[in-house]
């Protein structure tokens, strides 16, 4: 299917409300994604750029107004039992690989690519430059990770069983069983106490 026809279809189905809209979007996108499990809820006004590089597990809810951006060389993988909260952005020109039972609260942003400020001599539109002027990262997120409101992640690995408090900025690794917060985000406590 050519890109123009895909854009027309997606524009038509993007804002159909209710259960009918979710069903139509699932039936359409399961053939567009790299892989797609069952029981996927895609709410209204969700945008997918290059869905061929997106893989979804089972029992996933993608809430309203989310944006998934990827590319031929990129990858976004979301594990089973995950909820992507309202207005979240996942930019997977690098790689975003997420385990099972992942949750983002509203407004979270995961960016795996950025322009290299040391190589951008003509702005960031890449008119006279190449993709080599980009910094690509792998964002690796374990199982049972929950990102609070407006959390931003640009680099690093989050191990299993982590809760990140609202408005934190993740630029490095976070160990398992952590409550983490701040800019840069760091472990401040244990999430689950030993009994």
What are the chain's domains? 3-190 (2.160.10.10)
Band (pLDDT 50/70/90 cuts) for residue 1 is low
Look at residue 131 in the predicted model and tell me its pLDDT. Answer: 60
Mean pLDDT of the chain: 92
Query: How does pLDDT run across 62-80, given as a tens digit for each residue?
Result: 999 999 999 888 999 999 9
28-33 long-range contacts, Cβ below 8 Å, gap at least 24? Answer: 32/6
pTM of the predicted structure, to 2 decimals:
0.91
Query: How does pLDDT run across 8-44, given as a tens digit for each residue?
Result: 999 999 999 999 999 999 999 999 999 999 999 999 9
Is the pLDDT at 129 greater than 70, yes or no?
Answer: no
Residue 117 burial (C-beta neighbours within 10 Å; 0-12, 13-18, 19+)? exposed
CB 111 within 8 A of CB 131: no
How distant, in Å, are the alpha carbons of 30, 95, 125, 195 from that of 143? 23, 17, 36, 21
For the segment 103-132, the average pLDDT, to the nearest whole number, is 79
* Cα angle: 144, vertex 147, 150; to 5 degrees: 165
Strand partners, 174: 158
Give the ranges where the chain is alpha helix by DSSP (H): 3-13, 18-29
Bond before 184 cis per omega within 30 degrees: yes
- Give me the sign of the Cα torsion angle 131, 172, 160, 60: negative
Strand partners, 69: 49, 91
Look at residue 117 in the predicted model and tell me its pLDDT. Answer: 77
């Amino acid at each position: 299917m050519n890109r123009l026809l895909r854009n027309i279809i997606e524009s038509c189905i993007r804002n159909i409300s209710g259960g009918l809209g979710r069903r139509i979007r699932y039936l359409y996108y399961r053939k567009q994604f790299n892989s797609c499990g069952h029981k996927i809820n895609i709410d209204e006004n969700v945008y997918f750029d290059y869905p061929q590089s997106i893989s979804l597990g089972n029992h996933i809810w993608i809430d309203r107004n989310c944006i998934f951006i990827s590319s031929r060389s990129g990858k976004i993988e979301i594990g089973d039992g995950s909820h992507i909260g309202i207005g979240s952005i996942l930019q997977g020109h690098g790689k975003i690989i997420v385990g099972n039972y992942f949750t983002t609260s509203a407004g979270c942003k995961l960016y795996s690519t950025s322009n290299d400020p040391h190589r951008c001599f003509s702005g960031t539109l890449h008119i006279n430059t190449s993709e080599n002027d980009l910094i690509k990262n792998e964002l690796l997120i374990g199982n049972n990770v929950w990102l609070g409101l407006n959390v931003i992640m640009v680099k690093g690995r989050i191990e299993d069983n982590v809760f990140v408090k609202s408005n934190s900025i993740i630029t490095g690794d976070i160990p398992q069983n952590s409550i983490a917060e701040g800019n840069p985000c760091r472990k401040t406590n244990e999430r689950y106490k030993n009994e």
